[in-house]
Amino acid sequence: MASYRIALNFEDGVTRFVECRDDEKVLDAAFRNKINLPMDCSDGVCGTCKCRAESGAYDLGDDFIDDALTSDEAASGLVLTCQMKPSSDCVIAVPTTAAACKTGQQKFAASVARITPHNDAAIVLELDVEPAAAPAFLPGQYVNIDVPGSGQSRSYSFSSVPGEQRVGFLIKKIPGGVMSTWLEGAAVGTKLELTGPLGSFYLREVQRPLLLLAGGTGLAPFLSMLEALARTNAEQKVHLIYGVTRDLDLVLVEEIEAYTKRLANFTYATVVAHAASNHPRKGWVTQHMPEELFNGGNVDVYLCGPPPMVDAVRKHFDDTGVKPNSFHYEKFTPNVVAKEAA
């Protein structure tokens, strides 16, 4: 008997993972894990348990009525969790909060494995987790990390791929910042508490070319995505534009370059905004997005960067009439949880 990992993504950004047997309905698997997904009849009659399957293969059977789920709704990816039986790993968007389903954020512990500064721009933090505690997450998601002794936490996207015992984060170095200051004296082996995974910014099922737009340490989630794409031998075209303010802010470019050899249709470009830079591509990311990247609209765009960059890209799309098939973005500011994603 096979079982599959089901990611349940709630409206408040919380993600919970459950194992579901191939002869088991998703609603039952969630209840078995003490997650009360919306339901009423559990017989495919009321439609209360309707969710959206964002990826994966499954069977809905024929034991539900059209009033609960029409054929058009099913064709668009809507499912009844009381009828849905998976035949692969799946990602399901649940149209309510985790709290309403009597579940919440997960916590886990990790220890500092390595701290690597990159110029005065960023720090790579690597943490080891116990095999039993290795977090499940979707490429692009983030966690909150408690900063020891401060009573505060900071939010960082995973730069590593799901399923590893060593997880990585790319952290902007901020003079006087709570995390930056703590990392200056942090010792290998120090224990940290993490909460997550969180966030609705994550890699969806790849069905068309991808355009990835990274600003500064907003590169982190794309490193996770690229590794996931490389491991699954993705064949779609993927282009990354990585924009920064100064030359010194360009970090981990060698890691990006390595994906040009591992990912058949991957290309990238770096852009530096500072006028005094000698970089071959200067200015803003929006100045280096040729029309052909949008493939006539048949492209999925992912953007992670500071608010001005996100706003500039959105305005550029409006001004030029660009309408990608989908546009997923996440704003972040250096000490604040990313609160806006789409």
Domain boundaries, the chain: 3-101, 107-198, 210-331
Q: Does domain 107-198 have CATH number 3.40.1210.10?
A: no
Return the sign of the alpha-carbon dihedral for residues 89, 95, 101, 106. positive
Bond preceding residue 197 cis, omega within 30 of 0? yes
Whether the pLDDT of residue 336 is over 70: the answer is: no
pLDDT of 337 reads: 38
Write the class of the CATH domain 3-101.
Answer: alpha beta
3-state helix vs strand vs coil in the chain, percent to 5:
25, 35, 40
- What is the pLDDT confidence band of residue 335, given thresholds at 50, 70 and 90? low
Distances, alpha carbon 233 to alpha carbons 7, 143, 263, 265, in Å: 22, 27, 7, 10
pLDDT digits (tens, 9 = 90+) for 250-303: 999 999 999 999 999 999 999 999 999 999 999 999 999 999 999 999 999 999
pTM confidence score: 0.89
Whether the pLDDT of residue 21 is over 80: the answer is: yes
Write the class of the CATH domain 210-331.
Answer: alpha beta
Q: 282 is written with which tokens?
A: 């200067």
Domain pair 3-101 / 210-331, same fold = no
For residues 229 and 205, what is the distance between their CA atoms, to the nearest angstrom?
A: 10
- What is the pLDDT confidence band of residue 334, given thresholds at 50, 70 and 90? low
